[in-house]
Structure 1
Amino acid sequence: MDDVLVSFMSRKMIFSGPSALAALLTLVLCLWSAPGIAQDQKVSTPDELRQALASSTGGIILLAPGDYGDLQLSKRRYDTPVVLKSEVPRRAVFNEILLADSANLQFIDLATHSKFRVDRSTDLVISGCQIGNMLYFRKVKRLKVAHCDVTGERFGVLFNTVSDFEIRHSQIGGVTEDVMRITGDSRRGLVEYNILADTIAQRPTHPDMIQTFSADGGTPSDITIRANLIYDDPETGGVVAQGIFMAGGGTSGYRNILLEQNLLYTGSANTIFIGGGQEKVIIRNNTLIPTKADGGAIIRLSGFKGFNNSGTMVSGNIAKLLKDETQKSKIQRNYFFGRNAALARLFSGRGDRWQDFLPAAGSAAEKSGMGAREFLQELADGRARLGPDWLEN
C-alpha cells in the first residue's frame, strides 16, 4: 500500500475535471486490492466461514444467526486481527471450537454447545460469548476473556501455562468439579469482577471454586484475584466446594500472589487456603461469610508439603477465623467474628448476592473498616459491576 501511495504522490500532478475523477478512482481501486488490507465479510454457512477464514488478511467476519457445527482451526497466524463476530449476539452457534498454533484471532458474541479449547496460541480475545461446557487454555500467551457466560459440565475455565492473561466481567459455574483452575507456569494473570457461582459436585469429587497447583515443572506466579463474588450454594450438589485453594506449589511454592477485595461464601473450612506462600503472597481486604451451619469463612495457612508460608501476609480481612498452622506469616489487623456469630447483626444477607456482604449499619463489621469495603462501595455506587454486561446480576 505504501508503494501505491508513493507512486501517486511522486507524480506531483494537479488534476481537474474527468482526469481528477479517474485518478481518484484508480487510487481507491489500488488501495482496496492492495495485499494486507483488511476487508470485512459476512457469512451464513459453515462453508462460507471456512472460505472467509482462508482468504482473510484481517478485519471482521460477521456471522449470521445459525448453526455452524464444529470449528477447528490450526496454524492460522494472522498479522492483523481477524474477528469472528455474531451479527445477533449469541445467535451464531457452534458445537465446539478447537484452536491450535494460531495468532491474532478474536471471538465476539458467539455461542457454543460444548467446549472451547485453545492450545499453543497467542494474541487472542474472547468476549461476550456463551460457552456451554468449558473454556480451556494451554500454552497460550496474551489472552483476554471478558463478558462471557461459562456454564460447564465438569470444569468451568482452565488456564494451564498461560501468560499475560485476564478474565474479567464473566460468570462461571454450574460445574461438577472445579469452577476455575490456574496451573503450571501461568503468570501475569488477572481475575477480576467475575461471578464464580456454585458447584453441583457429588462425592467422592473434591470441588474448588478456584484452584491453583504446579504442573509440568511450573508454578503459577504474579497472579491477582481481585473483586470477585465467589459462592457455593449449600443446597445444590452433595459436597461443599473449597474457595480459593492454593496448594501443590511444586519446589518453589507461590510467589507474587494478590488476593484482595473478594466476597466469599462457601461452607468449606478451606475458604481461603494457602499452602506454600513463600514470597509476596498477600491476602487483604476480603470478606468471608459462613453458611447456614456456620461452615466456612476461614482463612487457613497450612504447612503443605513442608512449606512454612513465610512470605504470606494477611491484612484487613473480615472472616470467622484464621487457622495459622505454620506461625511464620505476617498477620496484621483483621476482624475475626468467631464461631456461631449473629450474622444478621453483621451482614445484610446470607452471602449469595453481593448486596449480602454489605456490613449491617452500626455493626462491628462496619465499625472495623475492614473487608472488601472499596469493592462493595464501587458496586453500590454503580461504578463497577459483576459478570457479563448482557446478563442481569
Structure 2
Amino acid sequence: VENAAELTAALNSASAGDVITLASGDYGSVTITADYADMVTIQSEEPGGAVFDSLKLTNATNITVDGVHVDGTGNGGAGGSFVKISDGSQGITLTNMEINGLVDGVYTGAYGVHVDGSSDVTLNNNYIHDVKIGMLLNGSSDVSVVDNGLDYLGNDGIKFAGMDGLLLEGNIEYGNVFPEEGDHVDFIQGQGADSNDVTIRDNVLLASNVNNIQGISLFDVNYTNVLVEGNVIYSGQTRGITVEFGENVTVINNTVLNIPGTNKSTYIDVVDGGVNEGNIFV
C-alpha cells in the first residue's frame, strides 16, 4: 500500500497470516483496532521508509509492525506517547522500528512507547530517542522488551508498574539524558504498583553527559519472583541496583562501575532475604 487510505482498506480486509507491505512515504497518525485470529504483519518495504506521525493500537489483537519509523512532528504533551498499546490489546509485536519525537533538543514532552492494560506484547530491536521517557509499561502481562536502544531522553529509560510477567533483556541506554532541574533519573525503574515475575537481564547503562543516573531501581512497592542478572551499570549515582521490597528476589552476576572522579560510590542493595551473589563493584 502507498498511503493512509490504502492502509486502512488493507487492515479492514486482512485475514490471519497476511503481510501488508508499506511503500516509503508519510502515513500520518495511525490508529489500529483490528482483531485478527492470527498474526497480521504491517511491514515497511524499505526499513524506516514508511513513516507514521504516531501509532496507537487500541483493543487490537495479533498485529506485528516491522521496520516503520514513528517520527513525531512535535514534542507531544505530558503523559502522552508517540506509540501506545492499550485497552486490552494482545499479541502485539513492534520490531526494527525507530521511534522519536521532534529532534530539536527539547525532552519535556511525551513518552516513546506506552504499554497499558495489554498482554503478550513484544518490543524488539527498536531505537527510541528524543522523548521524555523511553518506555512506560503498566498494568500489563507477559511483556518482553528485548534488544532495544535508548538515547536522548528527558528522564527514565524504562519505567514500569503493576506488571505480571515482564522480561527486560539486552537493552542499552547510551546515556544522553537531559533532566529538568531537581529530577532524579533512572535507567530502569519499578514504582507505583506491585509487580510479579520480573526478569531484568543483560541490560547496559552507559551514563554519558550526566553522571547521576540511577541504574536498576525497584522502589516503593512489592516485587515477587524477580531475577536481576548480568546487567552492566556505569554511573556516578549511589544506587546502581536496588530492590527495596519483595520476595524471591535474586540479584546475581551484575557489574556496577563507578565513573572515575565522581563523588558517589555506586552499589547494589537487595531486600533482606534476597540473593546477592557474584556481583562486581568497581
TM score, norm. by length of structure 1: 0.64
| Higher-helix-fraction structure | 1
Identity %: 26
Q: Which residue of 1 aligns with 2:84?
A: 117
Q: Report 1:1-393 matches (<5 A).
A: 43-58=1-16, 59-74=18-33, 76-114=34-72, 115-120=82-87, 121-133=89-101, 134-184=112-162, 186-198=163-175, 199-215=177-193, 219-233=194-208, 236-237=209-210, 240-249=212-221, 253-276=222-245, 278-294=246-262, 295-301=264-270, 309-320=271-282
Kept in 2: contact 1:246–1:275 (CA 8 A): yes
How many angstroms apart in 2 are the aligned matches of 1:94 and 1:178?
A: 24
Give the count of matched residue pairs: 259
Secondary structure of the structure 2 residue equivalent to 1:271? strand
Aligned partner of 1:155: which letter? Answer: I
Instruction: Give, in whole Å, the separation in 2 of the partners of 1:189 and 1:125.
Output: 15
Q: Deviations over 1:1-33 (max 9, x none)?
A: xxxxxxxxxxxxxxxxxxxxxxxxxxxxxxxxx
In structure 2, C-alpha distance between the alignment counterparts of 1:220 and 1:182, rounded to whole Å = 9
Q: Could you report, residue by residue, the CA deviation over 1:29-74 in whole angstroms, capped at 9, with x for unpaired residues? A: xxxxxxxxxxxxxx00111111111111130000000011000123
Determine if contact 1:260/1:283 at 8 Å carries over to the other structure.
yes
Q: Give the alignment's Cα RMSD to 1 decimal.
A: 1.4
Structure 2: runs of 5 or more not aligned: 73-81, 102-111
Tell me how far 1:122 sits from its aligned partner: 0.3
Give the number of the structure whose alpha-carbon radius of gyration is greater.
Answer: 1
Counterparts of 1:227 and 1:135, CA distance in 2: 21
**Contact conserved, 1:192 with 1:228, CA < 8 A, in 2?**
yes
The one-character-per-residue Cα deviations of 1:166-201 (angstroms, maximum 9, x if unpaired) are 1111101221111101212x1221111111221221
| TM-score, normalised with respect to structure 2 | 0.88
- Which SS does the other structure have where 1:52 is aligned? helix
Deviates more, 1:191-200 or 1:154-163: 191-200
